[in-house]
Amino acid sequence: MDNFAFIIHPLDPKRDVKRKFPLLGKVLPVPAINFLSRFFPPLYISHITGVCSEATGKEVEGWFVACPFTPQRMMTLPPKTVYRKVIATARLAERLGAELVGLGAYTSVVGDGGVTISRSVNVPVTTGDSYTVASAVEALKKAAEIMEIDLAGATLAVVGATGAIGAVAAEMLAADVPHIVLIGKRFDRLAEVKARCERVGAEVLMTADLDRLLQADLVLTVTSAVEAIVQPKHLKPGAVVCDVARPRDVSKAVAEQRDDVFVFEGGLVEVPGLDASFNFDFGFPPKTCYACMAETIALALEGRYENYSLGKDLTITQVAEIAGIARRHGFKLAGFRSFEHAVPEAEIERIRLNAGRARQVSAAI
């Protein structure tokens, strides 16, 4: 049977450690988990079973393996130290029999986007970023339709537009929206993304100022910040916000204080197979996972055992290709989730009505 592995790591230290080690997660404070994570070895987490292509009937199996570093450790340790731990985790996947390894969350962000890691192991590697873009763009468009935002007259803001995901997502959406605000710290890189978006026809503003989010009807945020950066004051009444970052970019205060904006986690996908199971509770409903995980699985179903979505420059062609592969095998968008909870249709309707009233009030001022 064809197989794969996916590398995860603790994003919320106490919560995620508790899922595998209940006592340690309960007893250890966050600073202790951050400190000790440097000394933990890579971990086997679970056996993924029952994933089956709708197109071919092919079944694949895989494994979750964990790099013990928290985001805080990855951002403060030397890149070479982080590389060594991620490579050791990938080699654990190889020993399990994986023919393809996916890099999750910060393991795909640190350094050069997986290039160095891929050169240090004997199996192909992907960050999963291409399908993350495809699913986030699809979800953002779907949410805009629900919230009655006309893309042809909308302003889009991309926070973290210098990264691989933000840059290509902005370029893709430039064909649908007339105005784009690119937010980031590296203006040389922002200028490259701006030029690509302008070639498609959008009018583009570059900035490092998060207050510019107040202009945006649609927000896609995908930074590598360790703490939440998007606050209630930043968002326009009625805005739709797709948060692709892990850990999340949007503060929980937005959910508590702004009942007129629709915030959801980007890149959530349902995998094919009646009996598909991850055999590990990482907080999602059955058969639901991040799109980066799904890209790894889709490539295995396709028999594409090759490096994919590596480096800091993705292309629209890559994104379209993996989206087509995933669609053919039966992957599809999962329901909307926000701050670890499913968002039912009744809640979305409530937000939509609140947004309409908030827009009216804002227009009258």
Measured CA to CA, the distance from residue 267 to residue 245 in angstroms comes to: 9
What pLDDT score was predicted for residue 1? 63
What pLDDT score was predicted for residue 270? 96
- DSSP code string of 110-153: STTTTHHHHHTSSS-EE--HHHHHHHHHHHHHHHHHHTT--GGG
- Domain check: are 59 and 168 in the same one? no
Per the structure, the complete domain to which residue 137 belongs is given by 133-267+336-364
- Domain check: are 221 and 184 in the same one? yes
What is the CATH number for 168? 3.40.50.720
Q: Number of folded domains in the chain?
A: 2
Scanning 120-240, the segments in alpha helix (DSSP H) are 129-146, 164-173, 187-200
- Domain check: are 142 and 122 in the same one? no
- Domain check: are 251 and 289 in the same one? no
| Lookup: tokens for 245 | 């970052």
Measured CA to CA, the distance from residue 205 to residue 193 in angstroms comes to: 11
What Å distances lie between residue 221 and 29, 64, 242, 267, CA to CA? 29, 26, 6, 12
What pLDDT score was predicted for residue 178? 98
What pLDDT score was predicted for residue 154? 97
* pTM greater than the 0.85 cutoff: yes
What pLDDT score was predicted for residue 363? 75
- Angle ∠(118,127,158) on CA atoms, nearest 5: 140
What pLDDT score was predicted for residue 226? 83
- Domain check: are 238 and 357 in the same one? yes
- Domain check: are 263 and 273 in the same one? no
Q: Tell me the pLDDT tens digit for each residue of 185-229.
A: 999 999 999 999 999 999 999 999 999 999 999 999 999 888 899
Low-confidence ranges of the chain (pLDDT < 50): none
- Domain check: are 192 and 305 in the same one? no
Closest CA to 70 of 61, 82, 79: 82
- Domain check: are 71 and 82 in the same one? yes
- Domain check: are 261 and 280 in the same one? no
Q: Contact at 8 Å (CB) between 228 and 254?
A: no
- Domain check: are 178 and 140 in the same one? yes
- Domain check: are 329 and 359 in the same one? no
- Domain check: are 149 and 240 in the same one? yes
